[in-house]
Structure formats: C-alpha cells, structure tokens
Amino acid sequence: MPMPKHAVVIAGGGPSGLMLAGELALAGIDVAIVERRANQDVTGSRAGGLHSRTLEVFDQRGIVDRFLAEGQKSQATGFAGVRFDISGFPTRHPYSLGLWQNHIERILAGWVAELKVPIYRGIEVTGFAQDESGVDVELSDGRSLRAQYLVGCDGGRSLVRKAAGIEFPGSDPTTSNLIAVAELAETPPEWGIRRDAHGIHSLGRVDYEVHDGQIVYADKGPVGVLVTERGVGQTAEPTLSDLSEALVAVYGTDYGIHSPTSITRFTDAARQAASYRAGRVLIAGDAAHVHPPDGGQGLQTGVQDAVNLGWKLAQVVKGISPESLLDTYHTERHPVAARVLRHTMASVALRREDERTKALRDTMAELLGMDEPRRHFAAMMSGLDIHYDLGEGHPLLGRRMPDLSTANGPLRVFDLLHGARPVLLNFGTPCAFDISPWADRVQLVDAKYDGPWELPALGAVPAAAAVLIRPDGYVAWVGDQTQPALTDALTAWFGPPTASG
C-alpha cells in the first residue's frame, strides 16, 4: 500500500499543534495531526486561561468569541505577587480570560475540525527519517506517513526534538508540586493561595465565577489542589497517599481528600531547545520550551509560536518563499521564550517565604507600584509588548498591529486577518500603491483612521501612512508610497514579484 502523504505532519494535537494545523489549513496546506490521545480530553487542570495577546491572536482569526462565551474575564496578569490592572491598555481585550485548558483545546479542536484537518488519533509518532525532499514519519501502528515537513508539537518530553538531536539546555528542578483534581470530605476554612517556607499552595473549587474582580467559588463540586512537596526528584507516578501526605504537611489535615480524577507533578525545571529547526523538522510549544507555570505563559507562548510558524511554513511549502524564511521562526520566537524562562525563574525565586525573599518581593512590589515599570511588566505578562527585531524604524515595526477601527465601513484591522493573509493597509492618498506583482498574495486596502495610535508598552506613537501587516498580525513595514523599501519588504516576507502581476 502506498504511504499516505501530507505536505505537513504535526506530531501532537495539544494547543500548539491544533493552532498550527488551523493556520496551515487556512493557507490551503494539506496538513495532518498525529495525536497519542484517543480524544481531546485533558488529564488534570493545566492552563487556567488566556492572556490578552493570545485573545487578540484568536480575534485575528475570527474565533475569539468562542472562548469569550465560555470564560471569565478578570485582571489576572501579575508578577512577584503584584496584580496588574490592564483595563486601560489600548487593546480590545484588556483582561485575561479564565478558562481551563480542556475547554481551550475543545474549542480549538472544533475550529480545526471545521477546517477539515485529519487527526490520526490514538497513535504516536515513534520516529522519523528525513531526506532531501521530505520526512518519513513512523507511527506506533506500524504505518508511516510521508511529509515535506514534520513539526513536533509533542510537549515537553518531545520525541521529535530528541530524535532530531536538538539540545535542550536549561536548569534542573529545585521545587516539586503536585496538582490534582479531587473531592474533599471537609470544606477548608478558606479557599485560595497559601505561602509558607516551602512554597506556594492553593485549594479552590474547579468551578468558579468572577464577580467585581473577585473569584467566587462554586458551593460544591471537585476541588483543584496545588501543593508544594517537601522533596525534589521523585520519579514515580504520584498517588493519593503522596497528595494526602503533602496536604497534611502544609495544612495539618488532608480534608478527607478522595476520588481524585487526576494527580500530576510538575517542577520548576526551565529548559529551551537550542534550535527550533533541524532541516525539515521543526518544533513548537512545550516541545521547544518548558518552564514553571508561574504567570501562566506556556500555552500562550506555544499558540503564538504556531501563529508565527504557520504562514511561513505554508509559503515555503507552496514554493513562494525560500527555506530561509523558516529561520526567522527561530530568530523571532527563541528570544520570546527565553524571556519567559527568565521571568518564570525569577518568579520561582520570589515564591519563597523566608525573610530575605519577602523583603525582595516587597522591593519588587514597590518598583511595580511605579507607573513605568508597572506598564512595562503588565505589557510583558499579557504578551502585548512582543517585539520582533526587524531593524530600525517606526515603533510599530516588528510589533503587533493594533486592531484599529477604520472609517470605511465597519472595518476592523483584525477582520482583514481572518484568512491569515498579509495586508497592506494604506491610510494615505487612496490608490497610491500599486502592488499588483503581489496581488495574488497580499491584500491592498485603502482605509481612513483619525484616532490615536497607541501601543500598550510605549503609549502614543506617530500615525503611520501605510503598514504592511504579516498574517500573524506583526508589522513588517511602515512608510508611504515614496519609500522604495516596500518592495524589499514584500519580497523578503511574501516572495518575489510575479511577472504577470
């Protein structure tokens, strides 16, 4: 029987793999996912929500309402125990959305199903061999798939990363936590977070609502437990008695914990792949970076890796762009995750309850009480300040394009990105641009906008006459029709001009 073929095979259908599949499918690429799990169920709690930039990314694809309809809006970004209120930030989503990862994945999987991406479920990628024209992907059921590219979105223990020989340097764990969902026979005197010399712990019902910025837990139902263990380095699967023991050590009681639906262990190990690409094999999400969950950055970073990679890989597969475009994926995304690793490691150091750490936390809180540092950190933790180094120029260059409402009809910038196609947005003299040699790839839209130009981290920036926006929503060029650099930018990002126009 001939080997089934796809242009791209994605190992792993978690948040990163699903997002990447959606991006490729929107670009018309034949993509398939191989997923170990038989269904989309997520064991345990994992990510608890979405920050602003991830919400914007979903908005750019026209699917944000699906998440908003199910989640709870709150001001949940923070650092060193300081909460930030980002309600004044210039974004349509100046908040975080509380929504458990199982719901996030279900919604993403629904979108991917609408885009008709095949998912080989209940099957693992067990190995691969790459040659000049593609990759043979070996599956646990004995079959193989042939693809032009393989992307490992297969989580922190990524087989794809290891088999590709990609190094994963970083730091070993210093703390270990158990996270579980279970029933409690007794109701604790209070829900929420507790800190002690060993670290951070918390108890709260899985179901909750946010009223006036405060979490109001459901009266009954399963309880999410997070507890820091006394030791590091346990390798056996955690049990109910481990959980009970850890609770007794912190709370003096285990509150009659029973009937767990999940118990998992995570540590503060922080590691990042040395390279995001090895030939025809790429990695994204937790496969490329792992770090402690402080600040809730892992899923956001993985989804945004996928949005950075998707359109580039699509163009390379279609032969529009050279393979070197894929190198910009590493160049742009590696520093983003490196920064996430750095601030999550700092957060872990600040978790401790000894006198000196408390003093350091208070010092941080004092600094974060000042306007400029607060704005800087809030923009960082919400993902709104991401800046790809595309050279000198207008402050918008390499930053996210704001979702401006333009005056010709009810047109929002993000609406133009629903199909994941680039757009040249001209705010100057109508019909001033002729980009017909790229007309098959790049939309040209004349628009009017008289409002303020503001970026979350920077504040007001000069108005732009025209902006070239990539499918991931980042600005590739800013200028006007007198500036010849537009041709270079169009060619660099979206391939050479076509002769016929």
List contacts with ligand FAD (CB under 6 A).
Answer: 11-17, 34-37, 46-49, 101, 124-125, 153-155, 159, 179, 266, 285-286, 293, 296-300, 302
For the bound state, the minimum distance from the C-beta of residue 444 to ligand FAD, rounded and expressed in Å, comes to 35
CB nearer ligand FAD, residue 284 or residue 413: 284
Whether 261 contacts 181, CB under 8 Å: yes
Q: How far is the CB of 98 from ligand FAD (least distance, A)?
A: 9
CB of residue 46 to ligand FAD, shortest distance in Å:
4
**Cβ-proximal residues to 257 (8 Å cutoff; 6+ apart), any chain:** 182, 183, 184, 185, 225, 240, 243, 244, 247
Pick between residue 17 and residue 395 the one whose CB is nearest to ligand FAD: 17
State the DSSP code for 393: S
Q: Which residues on adjacent β-strands are paired with residue 227? A: 178
Q: Which residue has the tokens 């270079």?
A: 488
Q: How far apart are CA 253 and CA 155, in angstroms?
A: 35
The nearest distance, CB 49 to ligand FAD, in angstroms, is: 6
Half-sphere exposure of 188 (CA within 13 A, CB side): 24
Contact 49, 76 (CB under 8 A): yes
CB of 111 to ligand FAD, least distance (A): 15
- For residue 147, the minimal CB distance to ligand FAD (Å) is 14
CB of 373 to ligand FAD, least distance (A): 23
E strands present in 140-191: 144-152, 170-171, 176-184
Which CB, 158 or 244, lies closer to ligand FAD?
Answer: 158
For residues 90 and 156, which CB has a smaller minimum distance to ligand FAD in the complex?
156
Q: At 204, is the secondary structure helix, strand, or coil?
A: strand
Q: What is the 3-state secondary structure (H, E, C) of 241-287?
A: HHHHHHHHHHHCCCCCEEEEEEEEEEECCEEECCCCEECCEEECHHH
What is the DSSP track for 94-142? -SEEE--HHHHHHHHHHHHHHTT--EEET--EEEEEE-SS-EEEEETTS
Instruction: State which residue, 119 or 465, has the beta carbon closest to ligand FAD.
Output: 119
- Of residues 343 and 394, the one with the C-beta less far from ligand FAD: 343
Report phi then psi at 246, rounded to 5. -65, -40
Q: Which is nearer to ligand FAD, 96 or 406 (CB)?
A: 96
Tokens in use for 16? 């990163």
> Least Å distance between CB 278 and ligand FAD?
16
CB of 120 to ligand FAD, least distance (A): 8
As measured in angstroms, the least distance from the Cβ of 270 to ligand FAD is 12
CA–chain centroid gap for 195, Å, is: 28
Alpha carbons 206 and 45: distance in angstroms, whole number: 9
Which CB sits closer to ligand FAD, 337 or 447?
A: 337
Q: Which is nearer to ligand FAD, 239 or 498 (CB)?
A: 239
Tokens for 314, please give them.
Answer: 């699509």
Distance between CA 395 and CA 454 in Å, rounded? 10
Looking at the Cβ atoms of 36 and 334, the one nearer to ligand FAD is: 36
Q: How many CB atoms lie within 10 A of CB 98?
A: 19
* C-beta of residue 412 within 8 angstroms of C-beta of residue 448: no
CA dist., res. 429 & res. 433, Å (int): 9
